[in-house]
Amino acid sequence: MKIKFYLVIFFIVSTSLTAQVTLDFSGYLYDVPTFYFKPASADFFGLEDNENIYPMNLTRLRLRPTLNFSENSRITMQYEANLLFSKMPIPLVEGTGMTNRQALDLHWRFYNKNNFTAQHFIDILYYKHIFDFAEVVFGRQVISWGVGRIWQPTDLFNPINPANFSKLEKDGADAFSAKFFISDFTDFELVCNFRENQKDYNYGARFRTNFSEYDVSAMAGYFDRKVIVGGDFTGNFFNAGLRGEGIFSYDPDSPDSNYVRAILGLDYQFTSELYGLIEYQFNGRGTACKDCYDFDRLKRGEIQNVGLNYVTVQSNYQIHPLVTINAGAMLNINDLSGYFNAGVTYSIFESLNLSLGGMYFIGSEKDEFWYYPSAVYLSGQWFY
The SS3 assignment for 2 reads: helix
Quote the least distance from Cβ 118 to another protein, whole Å.
24
In this structure, the number of other CB atoms found within 10 A of the CB of residue 225 comes to 12
The residue among 7 and 19 lying less far from another protein, judged by its C-beta, is: 19
Shortest CB 54 distance to another protein, Å: 29
CB of 181 vs another protein, minimal distance in Å: 5
Minimal distance, residue 155 CB to another protein, in Å: 10
Pick between residue 149 and residue 226 the one whose CB is nearest to another protein.
149
Rounded to whole angstroms, how far apart are CA atoms 316 and 320?
12
How far is residue 67 CA from its own chain's centroid?
Answer: 25
Q: Name the residue nearer to another protein (CB basis): 183 or 197.
A: 183
Distances from the Cα of 347 to the Cαs of 46, 172, 232, 282, 344, in angstroms?
Answer: 41, 28, 34, 36, 10
Q: How far is the CB of 238 from another protein (least distance, A)?
A: 8
- Give least dist CB 64 to another protein, A: 8
170 vs 285, which CB is nearer to another protein? 170
How would you classify the pairing of strands 226-237 and 53-70? unpaired
Answer yes or no: are the C-beta atoms of 367 and 290 closer than 8 Å. yes
Return d(Cα 307, Cα 259) in angstroms, integer.
13
* 60/285 with CB nearer another protein: 60
Q: Which is nearer to another protein, 171 or 367 (CB)?
A: 171
Rounded CA-CA distance 290/368 in Å is 7
Q: Which of 8, 14, 293, 260 is nearest to 126 (CA)?
A: 8
Cβ atoms of 68 and 24 closer than 8 Å: yes
Angstrom distance (rounded) from CA 98 to CA 111: 17
Instruction: Using the Cα atoms of residue 177, residue 178, residue 182 and residue 184 in order, give the sign of their dihedral.
Output: positive
Least Å distance, CB 225 to another protein, is: 27
Residue closer to another protein (CB basis): 114 or 271: 271
Binding site for another protein (CB under 8 A): 26, 64, 130, 135, 142, 144, 147, 149, 168-170, 181, 184-185, 187, 208, 210, 213, 215, 234-236, 238-241, 243, 267-273, 275, 318, 321-322, 347, 350-351, 353, 383-384
